[in-house]
Amino acid sequence: MNVYDSQRIANILETLGYQETSSQTAADIIIFNTCHIREKAAEKVFSDLGRALLIKNERLAQGKETIIGVCGCVVQAEDEQIAKRAPFVDFATGPLTYHRLPEILEKVARKKHISVIDTEFPGESKFDYLPENHAQGGCSYLAIQEGCNNFCTYCVVPYTRGVEYSRPINEVLSEAKRLISTGSLELNLLGQNVNSYHGEDENGKERNLAYLLNKLAEIDGLKRLRYTTSYPADMNDDLIACHKNLPQLMPYLHLPIQSGSNSILKAMNRRHTKEDYLRVIEKLYKANPKIGMSSDFIVGFPGETDADFQETLNVVNQVKYIQAFSFKYSKRPGTPAALMSNQIEEKVKKERLDILQTLLFEYQDKFNQSCLGKTMPVLFENKGRHAGQLIGRTPYMQNVHALLDKKYLNQIINVKITEATTNSLSGEKI
Ligand code: 5AD
Ligand code: SF4
């Protein structure tokens, strides 16, 4: 979602006459789009800002002004800290208000050295104010839903991105058509709780994600569809049926369980048990036996015992994820879990994370090895590090490296997989 937001921020700046540069010292304006989900991500902002101040001062000595701005969830949660720890920041705006950047930058220009901070939960939808976007490659992100009403006890998202909002069906369809007509073959629909999508159609009737996916699948030229991130309790049968009925829907699903222990899931305020989750996966495999699963895991949530942790490992052994993200529990300000008295020692968290990641990598590696010799359709999105090399993605989101002319960028090409490691594949065009 932050990548999508950054692209939209760049769209706004383009309408104001700015151009993107890869050189920080050449930039008249430097914006950090920030993440508050774990402490490490949030703290990074302050060290990045320190480096930006050096650039600002260096440029000032050459008679050039630099505007420094901060966007994203850290602003929503820590605006006072930013003003205190980085008073040289010219403006700061949360994830729901960056559409106001034109006015914000006007204010910055008028009131030199007084920073403008906007952390309102606005009455308007930013999507109504953003300029039109175009495909930036073969695969585009499309935000269809934002915010979350689930209030998992460890998570800041409901406080930073606010309550759930679903964009209307027609708005999503026209953005999708624009992205496809300007070169995208794949759309990745985004939302913090994307499968609780309930956007209004043209008659004001609320429609679910399955309805939207069916509508999107009718668009000519759309080859691949994905949606990220889903909440297990909201995986309804309509949506599961899409995995059987829509050939464009990729056979890969990111469905976070967080923990395999029912008592920890309860303490996390998740509205599902381990059994509910496994039942959903069983239905998904029935709908499409080729589906590959992915998940997020948190280890060391307050009160997690060795037995609870073992339950998480058991789920991994049962589901055999083809890919996953795993994190040590990180105390977040203002969340209920941060106040729980039974916090887990850092050392234990680290040990559990190592064990979990070793197991997850084993399954990921096994899956990648199973692709050796197979032919897979790969959407090439980027140039590789080596000359003549392109990097793309399989239906399962695996990275594939291939020696290929750059005319194949943003195209789907059949590739025979010749090498597999835990993290990526290599192959040859057939
Ligand atoms: N500590 C560790 N991981 C967290 N996540 C969210 N909040 C925290 C936290 N406080 C993880 C969850 C979520 C992913 C985006 O980040 O696993 O699914
Ligand atoms: Fe955070 Fe996801 Fe839980 Fe919402 S469902 S509170 S975004 S972890």
Ligand nearest to the CA of 336: 1
Task: Show the domain range for 102.
Answer: 2-118
The closest alpha carbon to 375, from 349, 403, 400, 346, belongs to 400
In angstroms, what is the span from residue 156 Cα to ligand 2's centroid?
8
Whether 113 shows a pLDDT value over 70: the answer reads: no
For the stretch 147-189, pLDDT in tens is 999 999 999 999 999 999 999 999 999 999 999 999 999 999 9
328 and 381 share one domain: no
Tracing tokens 């529990």 back to the chain, one arrives at: 329
Domain boundary among 80, 99, 118: 118
44 and 139 share one domain: no
Distances (CA, A) of 120 to 56, 75, 79, 145, 264: 28, 11, 11, 19, 34
321 and 382 share one domain: no
319 and 395 share one domain: no
- Count of domains forming the chain: 3
138 and 254 share one domain: yes
| Distance of alpha carbon 30 from alpha carbon 386, whole angstroms | 29
Domain boundary among 75, 93, 118: 118
**Average pLDDT for 238-251:** 98
**Average pLDDT for 110-119:** 73
364 and 380 share one domain: no
154 and 106 share one domain: no
Ligand 1 contacts (CB < 6 A) are 37-38, 154-155, 256, 258, 296, 298, 327, 329-330, 332
The pLDDT value recorded for residue 243 is: 98
Reported as a pLDDT band with limits 50, 70 and 90, residue 320 is very high
Distances (CA, A) of 286 to 273, 278, 281, 337, 397: 20, 12, 8, 36, 21
88 and 227 share one domain: no
Whether 129 shows a pLDDT value over 80: the answer reads: yes
In angstroms, what is the span from residue 38 Cα to ligand 1's centroid?
7
For the stretch 3-32, pLDDT in tens is 999 999 999 999 999 999 989 899 999 999
In angstroms, what is the span from residue 73 Cα to ligand 2's centroid?
14
Domain boundary among 335, 352, 370: 370
CATH at residue 207 = 3.80.30.20
Mutate to test the pocket of ligand 1, among 1, 3, 151, 155 (most ligand atoms within 8 A of CB): 155
Whether 109 shows a pLDDT value over 60: the answer reads: yes
190 and 334 share one domain: yes
Whether 107 shows a pLDDT value over 80: the answer reads: yes
Instruction: Tell me the pLDDT of the chain averaged across its residues.
Output: 95
Question: What is the number of other CB atoms lying within 10 angstroms of the CB of residue 422?
Answer: 14
Reported as a pLDDT band with limits 50, 70 and 90, residue 379 is very high
In angstroms, what is the span from residue 255 Cα to ligand 1's centroid?
13
359 and 381 share one domain: no
For the four alpha carbons of 209, 213, 214 and 216, in that order, the dihedral sign comes to positive
For the stretch 261-276, pLDDT in tens is 999 999 999 999 999 9
78 and 220 share one domain: no
Distances (CA, A) of 153 to 36, 237, 266, 267: 15, 27, 10, 7
Q: What is the dihedral of CA 274, 280, 283, 289, to 10 degrees?
A: -80
CATH at residue 50 = 3.40.50.12160
In angstroms, what is the span from residue 159 Cα to ligand 1's centroid?
14
402 and 359 share one domain: no
For the stretch 37-79, pLDDT in tens is 999 888 889 999 999 999 999 999 999 999 999 999 999 998 8
CATH at residue 406 = 2.40.50.140
Reported as a pLDDT band with limits 50, 70 and 90, residue 121 is confident
> Above pLDDT 70, what percent of the chain?
99
Ligand 2 contacts (CB < 6 A) are 148, 150-152, 155, 157-158, 192-193, 231
